Structure 1
Amino acid sequence: MNQAENPSQYMTRNSGNESIVYDPKIDRTLHRRLRALKQGKAKRTKMAEQRTMMDYAKPTLTGAASSIERPAIAANNFEIKSTIIQMIKNTVQFCGLANEDPNTHIADFLEICDTFKHNGVSDDAVRLRLFPFSLKDKAKTWLNSLPAGSISTWDEMASRFLAKYFPPSKTANMWNDITTFTQQDGESLYKSWERYKELLRKVPHHGLLVWL
């Protein structure tokens, strides 16, 4: 209890080295403090209600948060060179079109990322920082539409990307192309074999056994 409120209503007794304050009107003090708490809460509620529609309509940075939660980097003097970013923008771009191959995109992207290493910096830290630069148009819009901070590892990023641009329906269609593959009229065996291997490469998760 705070004796400064009304010193006359409190009694003090010593117990060893400690002072015990006794309030003979404890019920009244409790009600007074509860009333003060309620008044403070009501005041805060009123202030919140006084926000105008304009206040709620003002844009904030909350909605601009990235869907990627990039791993922290403890290494000193780490920097991704602008030449690497420009190389990705010039040579590895995925727009989200139906005829694009997401598996090839990831393979080409990782090929560039693996060209440089930095002590104390994980592969995830590098890949998650660079991957947004490899997307544009619809694909970039898709990445930005994901919940803020919903991706924190490269495996999560690759899985979400492939689930979006290589859905089960596309897998089923390409699996059918593989299992019904035939040599075309006038096509050499070599060209037919190369075309078949290209189909397999585009569906690395086809699940067909080698002997089959």
Structure 2
Amino acid sequence: MGDENPICTLGDYSKPSHEGYMNTIELPSEDANQHLKDFLKLVDSLDIDSENMDRTCLCLFQFSLRDQASNWLERLPSGSIITLEDLTTHFLA
């Protein structure tokens, strides 16, 4: 019969295990409106003067995307997004 309580060595206990691991970070919403709202809330929390707000949003937005949304942004024609309004219009479409 199989041993229900196998003997474990000290080495067995030192091996990393993901058993029972639960991620504490909630993944971003797949809802484009909510994603944009959360992104703008994050940018608003930074100390950025209004002159540079659009430019900063345009630079940072790419880092808020992942998977299909990131691929979507990379497939847009070069120069198709110049302002934050362009970005929001394209993203929500």
> Into which bin does the TM-score normalised by the smaller protein fall?
0.5 to 0.7
Counterpart of 1:155 (choices 72, 77, 85) is 85
Do structure 1's residue 115 and structure 2's residue 27 form an aligned pair?
no
More strand by share: 1
User: What is the Cα deviation at residue 126 of structure 1?
Assistant: 1.1
Cα deviations by residue, 1:30-78 (Å, 9 ceiling, x for unpaired): xxxxxxxxxxxxxxxxxxxxxxxxxxxxxxxxxxxxxxxxxxxxxxxxx
**Residues paired across the two proteins, number:** 69
User: What is the Cα deviation at residue 105 of structure 1?
Assistant: 0.6
Long gaps (5+) in structure 2: 1-24
Three-state SS of the structure 2 residue aligned to 1:151 is: coil
Partner of 1:102: 32
Counterpart-to-counterpart distance in 2, 1:126 and 1:162: 19
User: What is the Cα deviation at residue 118 of structure 1?
Assistant: 3.1
**Which one has a bigger Cα radius of gyration?**
1
Counterpart-to-counterpart distance in 1, 2:27 and 2:45: 14
Cα deviations by residue, 1:124-158 (Å, 9 ceiling, x for unpaired): 01110110001111111110000011101011001
Cα deviations by residue, 1:9-43 (Å, 9 ceiling, x for unpaired): xxxxxxxxxxxxxxxxxxxxxxxxxxxxxxxxxxx
Partner of 1:134: 64
1:145 maps to amino acid: R
- What is the 5 A alignment of 1:1-212? 93=28, 100-119=30-49, 121-163=51-93
Long gaps (5+) in structure 1: 1-89, 95-99, 164-212
Contact 1:124 1:154 survives alignment (8 Å): yes
User: What is the Cα deviation at residue 107 of structure 1?
Assistant: 0.6
Describe the shift of the 1:162–1:120 C-alpha distance in structure 2 as closer, same or farther (beyond 3 A). Answer: closer
What TM-score, normalized by structure 1, do the two folds share? 0.30
